[in-house]
Structure 1
């Protein structure tokens, strides 16, 4: 991905539409600078790119809901439009942030929702947040967090990038090297392994449960073997041998079947004997039942004969009761009822006669009351006129009341306005006085921020220089001493090797001399004068060689030569080691001297280093260290003081703005108060005029008029209600008198008819009593019974007659059945049958127990056998998946590196190699990154952790121990190496832009120059590099710039292409 154009409008600190940034203009040199004061909005340019692509900013604390510029006008459109190319195609993405604005019509606010569009060359524009976000993610193959780490070394985040742990780097490298498939493969294998293991365990548990339900009798020969196998199957790892379980169940079934067959044969024999004896018992019981039945029927006949006379009397009484109850009593009941009616009517006539006299008296009384009420009609008419008048004047009273209230309110408002005018005058005087004080304070502190920035820069330079000095004194001096000791040891070793060599050389020379003497003595031993010498050819031998006292053989000489050669080699090696140590010491002392001179000649120290040796330089450095420490402490005190003064300045500016706003507000309030006072005075005059016009009303106010009206209405209502109620009461009394007179006439006629009916019923009843031969009415009433009693008596008589007939018939049959029979004793036979029944029941229970157990065991066998294939298949699949998972997971051996991490590690080595191509020149060949070698194959959690090799000391150390400037160089190099590797993976993420945000403040001049050389080289390779900084060296050294300026109305920027 390579930026081509960026347009920002009403976004972040930028109030309106900014000039477009055409990144193509930076292509020639590639390197450009984004510069401006702190807080001006330099990083917001990268944030705009980040927001356009992902809807997020690079800063986690920035809420996307508040990205609209606070300086923007109501009509300004908040928008980020970003043009970029990716893999040869051009794209344009536009994104509008969410914000709240005033409604164009009416009052209140409305929220504009976030929107986004994506235009691809030759394609239909894509709209909607979700679709655009998904497409961007699909194009770039990274999310916003990975984009920030690849495309930008953000302010404060370069240290985190360098020190990121394995798990964080794994996420970035997964996209770069497209290793997510290996991670998914691991998850799929883990899921299949766990699923098959769970399935196998579940089946094993089920099989174990089924087998645990298999049973045999405790005395069965297979009982102990079965229980022992059950104990083993309690461990699910033993269930795999399913065939042994089935074989055990087969043995149990066979054993139980054999026992069942024996019991079944015994049961069949016992049932036959029981049935034979039951038949004999039944015949004996039938014989005894015939005899017992005959005796019972004879006893029943005797009892029936005893009740016969009683039942005859009961039947005669029943006939007289029916006659009295059904023929005479109904007439008696009617006569009694009619007699009661006559008495009731006579009583009612007496009561109504009394009511008539009372009603007549009430009519006379109410007539007098009506006459008195009607005499007040004229008074009611006068009251009605008064009520109508007051009602007619109600609106006038209301108007008068409103004017009085309004006048009181307006007069109170006039007083309040006067008080507000006085308060505003006092407040205005106080604010003007405070404003003058603040202007003086601001004028006196205006230069403090610059002084603070200069002090901070001075402090950084002092701290960096002090760090460099301490590095020489604390680290390099120790390393020099170590190298000097190493040189001394190697020089001593050389001297010792030389002494050893000289000794061996002397011994060799001596041995060669002895050997030559031995050779000459041997030749001269038999040499005579006149014989030629085999050595010199002389025939005269004045001094013949003699054999020496010592003797040396050729083998001895060979040993001396080997010793001399070995010592010579050791001497030569020691000489080389000493030379190397001397050279390393000289080079290191030269490096230390150069570093010491650089520190001492620094503008902060200005110590002369001419013709000074290293030790003298080191002494000067010790003094310089103390000087720098004092300067740093002084600078800290100065910065703290300036910080307080800057805070005071900021507070004064803020208060000054607030004071100015307060004065403007007071002026507006005074103008508004004047308008309000004029309007209030006009309203007072108008209300006073209206009150004069309403002074002729009958009453002082509406409340008094309403009270008079209410009193009149009350009296008027009392008079009219009295007339109305008196008239209604007299009418009701007249109606009541008429009604009671009519009722008395009707009751007299009714009484005469009732008395005639009473006499007729009495005559009819006496006639019936005489006809049916009852002695008197009392005798008849004594025989009266209800129908239920009559029916019950008649039922008892019929049941008795039926019992006599039935007994006679059954007795004849029983005499015939019992003829010739005698009683038989059945107790012994019953006892025998009961014992045999119990034995049969026990045998049947035993048989059922065995049958049920056999059926259960067979069912459990079928259940176990039905799961055999699934269990074997699950175990087989689990074994395969487990082996594959352990291989991919990296746990199949002693190592713990996953397949994905192994592949990422190989790719990460390429990133580190690319990073070191930048880091080595930036650090003067001192530092080189590498992965921690002690963790390979042992811990996946540190597989991608970094450490740094310090070539000055020859040792490795953690990247976290680097200084601020060293960390910046290392993190920049790592980011560049990461970007290079990403760009080479065309199928993955392609990134042709890099932004570096601050961090340069920790670099000295030389480090800054080398870093710029690397960035310039990088930018010449078709890659845009944007540096975000306000350092003067960068402003002077990078001609292509985006210059950001902060103003009271929002930030602005201009683009300088450097032409």
Structure 2
């Protein structure tokens, strides 16, 4: 993998946008990333890792490490990286989740992380989009880069502080690192899964064995219900013997059940015979009882027949009278109508003769209709004039009111014209005053800039005062940490000296007679060394080393803090322009006064401009109102003249429509009354004629109905009529008598009843007693048969369950054997001769590869003096709980092993670097031979002497073979002279950082 270009914006301490052309920078193979501590060198590496994996090299939250606090909140932070692998050239763009100001209202809102990926044909190509979804981009990059983030940070990015920590780590800690880097957790998971499968398999075998015992007990319990041969415990028998035994027992039980079934069948036949005899006797008794009851009922019906015939005759007469009642009622109603029509005609005629329209009284029907039509026609012509006459007064009043309104509008128009003539002079006065404020905006901008600068100086002065206190505190902390570090180093040196001095005594304590010495190999031990009373143990050495490392770390942190706050103090004093807080405050007050005066001028200028705009708008509005008012007044004058003419014409029409009446309304009332009177006389005459004709027709229909019903007159009809309830009662009585007589005759005619003489006898009690005895015998036989059949099924089911359980247990044993054998081998159980688990075995092989790759470089860097060796013991001689991951350094000058903790600072650095590069080589080969075109080494080179530095730089130069480029992250001055191509990171007075590329 090769990195071509990196662009970042608003990331970490960098608030601006910066682009690094890595191709141009690494043309010579080596380039330097340098700058003061804490300026942001590691942030550039974090940006590369974030672009590829969405997280930084150290694994911290990308939001916390990448979003710049120095950038404007509106600026979106992002990283854009162009790189190439065997899969092609790609460009990835990522933005982390951050808080941005809300577009509406106050406060902030969360902007989610975003990502985009392009495939390029060349490093400068625009590219073809691949995806714009965060998850899809992550999946595509995993396929393209091949390495995961842990492998990437151990191969492409060799992070600061990780070399020596891996070299000096305890074996169990080194195990965790190797497991993460090589991904061997899959073997750990497989090992645990096999152990869990073995536990589950053993549990299932135990359960299957318990199932055999339970099935055997169930079969023995079921078989004991029957008498038979004595049974052994079925759980101790083999399959064939158990099958034969269960078959014999089941056959005996089923034969006994068949015997009981035969006895039950015979008892059922006897019960059916007894039940048939009982049914016959009960039927004979019922027939005798029914014959006697029917004969008694027949006598009662015969005695009631005369009254039934009388009721039948009354019903027939009532039905004939009912056919005449409708015609009689119609005749009575027609006669009453004739009388009412005559009375109404005579009363209306008398009223007309005494009224105003007496001329209508002697007229016949034709004349009355003509008079009514004439009055109605004249009324239609007068109706329109009634409404017109009623509205004349109101129209006269509205006309007078409109004329008065016209006069008032003319007066207002004259007033508006006078006001319009005065407005030009007022406008000129406003414009003259506005001319004095034309440059108010320019004055305010200058004052605001001065105030901003003064506030920045004041803030810097205040911050410088606070930072001066921090510098004093940091200097005190450095002095204290240096004292603690010196004391811890002396204590570690003393403990190691005691440990070395007591090694001989400790080894002598392990000697045994007849066994060779681990040092000289002799089986004889004539003068073993005595243990020193001041001998230090391995635990003492480890505690002292841990204390010294903690003191070193604290001193480094204190010095970094002092450097940081000192640089910040210098930057803040420069930003404060040498002023103290009081002078800066006075400068701020003066600038604020100038801003207030300029703002007042701007506000007055704005007010005058608004006044001028309002004046012009009001002038235009007044001119428009005058034009509109004059047009409206001209139209109103013409409209009033037209309304006056129409009012005079309508008065003349109403005068003509009155005739001889006082008004048009009075004339319309007279015509309405005449038309109504004529219409009423005409309807009365027609009703009288129609009623007479209806009465003659009703009399004819009544005569015909009486003749058809064979009745003399209306009086006979009224005497024969019955109510509906009376008719229903009589009809129900007759129907019930006929039905009962038919039912009795049919019952007596049935063959079974007709065959009886009345002398027969039925023996029901005797038949019932015989049936009860048969039922008792059947119940006893049925219960016994059911009990034996249930027992037979239980024994057969228990036998089948026992045989099936035994078969399942044998199958489970065959299936469990491979699982238990494999789990024992993977977990260092029975059969594992190495006594090593699967995960540990895999790590040992990988660790040996790492040590071999590291020794290839270490031989060159140490001039053949040192080599790394894997040991089963913990560094210092104590055996590790996780065997095989210990390290020691072989010194070929003395051919003696050394604890890695005893190496000097420079030796520790290049040994650790070789180990890290060896680890990178092995990881790269494990990842499928991924070719690494760009490497970053983030480590301090200041601990190396010039000769060793030359050797290390030569070895790093070898990494350039094949076109690879190596970036070194350091602030060592000598490296600036050796490597001209570099990225310079510098702090700004504001606390932010910037970078420049030198190539």
TM bin (shorter chain): 0.5 to 0.7
Q: Which residue is 1:753 aligned to?
A: 690
Q: Is the 8 A contact 1:441 1:649 kept in 2?
A: no
Q: Is the 8 A contact 2:471 2:566 kept in 1?
A: no
Q: Which residue is 2:916 aligned to?
A: 975
SS of the residue 1:220 aligns to: coil
Q: Which residue is 1:317 aligned to?
A: 314
Distance in 1 between residues matched to 2:769 and 2:226, nearest whole Å: 37
Q: Which residue is 1:686 aligned to?
A: 616
SS of the residue 1:128 aligns to: strand
SS of the residue 2:937 aligns to: strand
1:409–1:761 Cα change, 3 Å: farther
Using the TM superposition, name which of 167-176 and 825-834 deviates more.
167-176
Structural mapping, 1:287-326, within 5 Å: 287-325=284-322
Deviation of 1:1013 after TM superposition, in Å, equals 4.1
Instruction: Verify: 1:81 aligned to 2:101, yes or no.
Output: no
Q: Is the 8 A contact 1:400 1:691 kept in 2?
A: no
> Deviations along 1:537-578, whole A, 9 cap, x unmatched?
xxxxxxxxxxxxxxxxxxxxxxxxxxxxxxxx999965x969
Distance in 2 between residues matched to 1:826 and 1:946, nearest whole Å: 110
Distance in 1 between residues matched to 2:918 and 2:221, nearest whole Å: 77
TM-score, normalised with respect to structure 1: 0.60
Q: Which residue is 1:154 aligned to?
A: 159
Q: Which residue is 1:1053 aligned to?
A: 996
Instruction: Verify: 1:376 aligned to 2:376, yes or no.
Output: no
Q: Is the 8 A contact 2:438 2:605 kept in 1?
A: no
Q: Is the 8 A contact 1:897 1:940 kept in 2?
A: no
Q: Which residue is 2:512 aligned to?
A: none
Distance in 2 between residues matched to 1:170 and 1:632, nearest whole Å: 28
Instruction: Verify: 1:220 aligned to 2:225, yes or no.
Output: yes
Distance in 2 between residues matched to 1:957 and 1:691, nearest whole Å: 100
Using the TM superposition, name which of 70-79 and 821-830 deviates more.
70-79
Q: Which residue is 1:800 aligned to?
A: 737
Structural mapping, 1:488-527, within 5 Å: none
Distance in 2 between residues matched to 1:190 and 1:11, nearest whole Å: 51
Q: Is the 8 A contact 2:420 2:623 kept in 1?
A: no
Distance in 1 between residues matched to 2:243 and 2:667, nearest whole Å: 114
Deviation of 1:322 after TM superposition, in Å, equals 1.7
1:781–1:664 Cα change, 3 Å: farther
Deviation of 1:227 after TM superposition, in Å, equals 15
Distance in 2 between residues matched to 1:373 and 1:159, nearest whole Å: 116
Q: Which residue is 1:475 aligned to?
A: 492
Q: Which residue is 1:114 aligned to?
A: 116
Q: Is the 8 A contact 1:33 1:1038 kept in 2?
A: yes
SS of the residue 1:376 aligns to: helix
1:169–1:774 Cα change, 3 Å: farther
Instruction: Verify: 1:262 aligned to 2:262, yes or no.
Output: no
Distance in 1 between residues matched to 2:873 and 2:222, nearest whole Å: 68
Instruction: Verify: 1:62 aligned to 2:62, yes or no.
Output: yes
Distance in 2 between residues matched to 1:191 and 1:482, nearest whole Å: 45
1:114–1:252 Cα change, 3 Å: same
Q: Which residue is 1:784 aligned to?
A: 721
1:192–1:415 Cα change, 3 Å: farther
> Deviations along 1:31-62, whole A, 9 cap, x unmatched?
x4311245654335434543565465436433
Distance in 2 between residues matched to 1:769 and 1:904, nearest whole Å: 131
> Deviations along 1:172-220, whole A, 9 cap, x unmatched?
7569768687568668868987998999999999999999999998982
SS of the residue 2:119 aligns to: strand
SS of the residue 1:117 aligns to: strand
SS of the residue 2:34 aligns to: strand
Distance in 2 between residues matched to 1:192 and 1:276, nearest whole Å: 70
Deviation of 1:833 after TM superposition, in Å, equals 0.8
Q: Is the 8 A contact 2:345 2:688 kept in 1?
A: no
Structural mapping, 1:934-953, within 5 Å: none
> Deviations along 1:923-978, whole A, 9 cap, x unmatched?
9999978677479xx999967876889999x999999x999999977764542331
SS of the residue 1:818 aligns to: coil
SS of the residue 1:315 aligns to: helix
Q: Which residue is 1:334 aligned to?
A: 330
Using the TM superposition, name which of 155-164 and 376-385 deviates more.
155-164
Which of these residues, 1031, 1038, 1043, is aligned with residue 972 of structure 2?
Answer: 1031
Distance in 2 between residues matched to 1:51 and 1:435, nearest whole Å: 37
Instruction: Verify: 1:142 aligned to 2:129, yes or no.
Output: no
1:273–1:899 Cα change, 3 Å: same
Using the TM superposition, name which of 827-836 and 376-385 deviates more.
376-385
Deviation of 1:830 after TM superposition, in Å, equals 1.1
Q: Is the 8 A contact 1:164 1:945 kept in 2?
A: no
Distance in 2 between residues matched to 1:988 and 1:135, nearest whole Å: 19
1:759–1:430 Cα change, 3 Å: same
Q: Which residue is 1:553 aligned to?
A: none
TM-score, normalised with respect to structure 2: 0.63
Distance in 2 between residues matched to 1:411 and 1:880, nearest whole Å: 110
Which of these residues, 755, 760, 778, is aligned with residue 840 of structure 1?
Answer: 778
Deviation of 1:827 after TM superposition, in Å, equals 0.6
Q: How many pairs were matched up?
A: 877
Deviation of 1:302 after TM superposition, in Å, equals 1.3
1:1010–1:423 Cα change, 3 Å: same
Q: Which residue is 1:128 aligned to?
A: 130
Q: CA RMSD in A?
A: 7.6
Deviation of 1:277 after TM superposition, in Å, equals 2.5
> Deviations along 1:749-787, whole A, 9 cap, x unmatched?
335534654576468658967997879867744643467
Q: Which residue is 2:363 aligned to?
A: none
1:1019–1:452 Cα change, 3 Å: farther
Q: Is the 8 A contact 2:34 2:984 kept in 1?
A: yes
Deviation of 1:375 after TM superposition, in Å, equals 3.2
Could you tell me which runs of 5 or more consecutive residues in structure 1 were left unpaired when the two chains were aligned: 101-106, 233-237, 492-568, 586-627, 714-719
Using the TM superposition, name which of 737-746 and 69-78 deviates more.
69-78
Q: Which residue is 1:507 aligned to?
A: none
1:71–1:319 Cα change, 3 Å: closer
Q: Which residue is 2:369 aligned to?
A: none
Distance in 2 between residues matched to 1:445 and 1:944, nearest whole Å: 56
Structural mapping, 1:627-706, within 5 Å: 645=569, 649=573, 679-680=609-610, 682-687=612-617, 689-690=619-620, 693=623
Q: Which residue is 1:823 aligned to?
A: 761
Q: Is the 8 A contact 1:166 1:942 kept in 2?
A: yes
> Deviations along 1:637-667, whole A, 9 cap, x unmatched?
9889859956965996999999999999999
Structural mapping, 1:491-570, within 5 Å: none
Deviation of 1:119 after TM superposition, in Å, equals 5.4
Deviation of 1:272 after TM superposition, in Å, equals 2.6
Which of these residues, 15, 18, 33, is aligned with residue 17 of structure 2?
Answer: 15
> Deviations along 1:621-650, whole A, 9 cap, x unmatched?
xxxxxxx9xx99999998898599569659
Q: Is the 8 A contact 1:6 1:21 kept in 2?
A: yes
SS of the residue 1:114 aligns to: strand
Distance in 1 between residues matched to 2:965 and 2:117, nearest whole Å: 29
Instruction: Verify: 1:25 aligned to 2:60, yes or no.
Output: no
Q: Which residue is 1:42 aligned to?
A: 41
Using the TM superposition, name which of 822-831 and 150-159 deviates more.
150-159
Using the TM superposition, name which of 475-484 and 262-271 deviates more.
475-484
> Deviations along 1:971-1028, whole A, 9 cap, x unmatched?
645423312433565845555754232556xx6565x975774454344354754321
Distance in 1 between residues matched to 2:803 and 2:623, nearest whole Å: 116
SS of the residue 2:61 aligns to: coil
1:330–1:128 Cα change, 3 Å: same
Which of these residues, 921, 928, 936, is aligned with residue 995 of structure 1?
Answer: 936
1:1028–1:793 Cα change, 3 Å: same
Distance in 1 between residues matched to 2:216 and 2:445, nearest whole Å: 98
Using the TM superposition, name which of 42-51 and 672-681 deviates more.
672-681
Q: Is the 8 A contact 1:67 1:97 kept in 2?
A: no
Q: Is the 8 A contact 2:294 2:748 kept in 1?
A: yes
Q: Which residue is 1:550 aligned to?
A: none
